[in-house]
Homo-oligomer: A and B are copies of this chain.
Amino acid sequence: MLHPFDPGYVQEPFLTLVTEYPEADVYPSGQFRIEWGPVFHRGRLDGSARVLVIGQDPAQHETIVRRILAGEAGRRLQGYLARLGVTRSYVLVNTFLYSVYGSVKAGTRRDPRLVAYRNRWLDALLVGSRVEAVLTLGTAAGEAWQLWKATAPGQAFPVAHAAITHPTQPESSSKGNEPSLATATKKLLENWNAGLQLLSPALAHPDAPRPLVLYGSTWADGDRPPLPETDFPAGLPAWMHEQDGWAKRAGKDDLAKRRNITITVPKGVIP
């Protein structure tokens, strides 16, 4: 069986970008889990992307596989891209390089050094590119996009943009309350449908053209597809991209949790 993989950072400017990322002076350790290192991207860095996605920040699964949007949010996003006929020609970056701890202060979020580094990635991925649609997940990502759009390269690059609700916003906003979760999910899917209707006509070159089918009022089968092996580093086992929920932060208090990631191979993988 062949195992395609993502070779990662093999060309400029990415080779340089991943060697000179901002650290604790820009991402304060009171607001970010900088101790786990930055996680940069997922998807195509070779110029073949038609859709650029800006997410928020990496969590525990992303920290292990060293690619972003690899957990629940990533799988929901993958289903969204599939509805647009985009199965391969995408590239994803985050608003923040490090995992958010608590909340991010406005001064940090708008730190010119933080913004400038992210804009170098957006310049590299957009200027002169074939990207036809931009998708931002959540408010911080929407702001990140506006900050790039305000730059000279951003102004000179007209592209369709949809700012949609973050994929796991229903879970974070409903805090375990089932009726709230159902309401928030329905609202998210309406919001996502509006985004699909905005981006679909702009995508002249999807990988697998298909008629646009909108979401219903709840998640359905196929809305959380496994992520393709080709997005991940060589040698990672299939369960790391086909499943989620296998990495947790465990510990008796906040500091212990912050110091920990516990990985458990899903049931059924070991014969």
Question: Given known contacts A29-B270, A237-B36, is B9 in contact with A7 (CB within 8 Å)?
Answer: yes
Question: In the bound complex, how far is the Cα of B258 from the Cα of A262, in angstroms?
Answer: 13
Residues of A within 8 A of B (CB-CB), count: 44
Instruction: Report the copy number of this chain in the oligomer.
Output: 2
Question: In the bound complex, how far is the Cα of B260 from the Cα of A250, in angstroms?
Answer: 13
Interface of chain A residues 17 through 55 with chain B (CB within 8 A): 18-21, 23, 29, 35-40
Q: Is the CB of B263 within 8 A of A262?
A: yes
- Verify if A106 is at the interface (C-beta below 8 Å from B): no
CB pairs A–B below 8 angstroms (27 shown): A1-B23, A3-B19, A3-B20, A3-B21, A5-B9, A5-B18, A7-B9, A7-B10, A8-B233, A9-B234, A18-B234, A19-B234, A21-B235, A29-B270, A35-B239, A35-B269, A37-B235, A37-B240, A38-B235, A66-B235, A250-B262, A258-B270, A259-B264, A259-B270, A260-B263, A260-B265, A262-B263
